[in-house]
Chain A
Amino acid sequence: GNSVTQMEGPVTLSEEAFLTINCTYTATGYPSLFWYVQYPGEGLQLLLKATKADDKGSNKGFEATYRKETTSFHLEKGSVQVSDSAVYFCALNYLPGGGNKLTFGTGTQLKVEL
């Protein structure tokens, strides 16, 4: 079946440091890939997505490229801020039937310190 594997956290960085959160997936066919972010006390919200191989999703300085050859969708940001502290979830969708039914990774907590 489908699955998503993320690097375990927490990840602690200083402000303005470079961020990479690794994500790899297992799926048959060609899934769409997503990164969702969960700020403390809130629900998840979409950060970025990519729907086919070699696509790059980007938003708020975050980027991720859909790499079919390595089945990966790593999240990167060049300079993190304290406000980026949150839990980041990698997810895919390749389930039959209608709608956007997501398979999530376990989440990676990011803490950014001054």
Chain B
Amino acid sequence: QKEVEQNSGPLSVPEGAIASLNCTYSDRGSQSFFWYRQYSGKSPELIMFIYSNGDKEDGRFTAQLNKASQYVSLLIRDSQPSDSATYLCAVRRGGKLIFGQGTELSVKP
């Protein structure tokens, strides 16, 4: 079992829709969870992080964390073509940041 798992996609949504990206992790002791966006040929950029159970909202982005289910998700409201990218889920373990394989999102105009 991979430590951080994501559906590789591609996930395709129409412009204006809600995109839902999911991530599960295996280490129940994980404390911090991060979502990064990576455009092709570029390095990842931090979208948001979450530490506590529940929802955390930042603009069009909402991160959801459920530690009991070892599940973290990212919702993107009013998706735009510019949101098309690979979204990486990361979990901090002992100071290291462990990444999932990423989900490719495509937002169609």
Q: Do A and B bind each other?
A: no
Interface residues of B (CB under 8 A from A): none
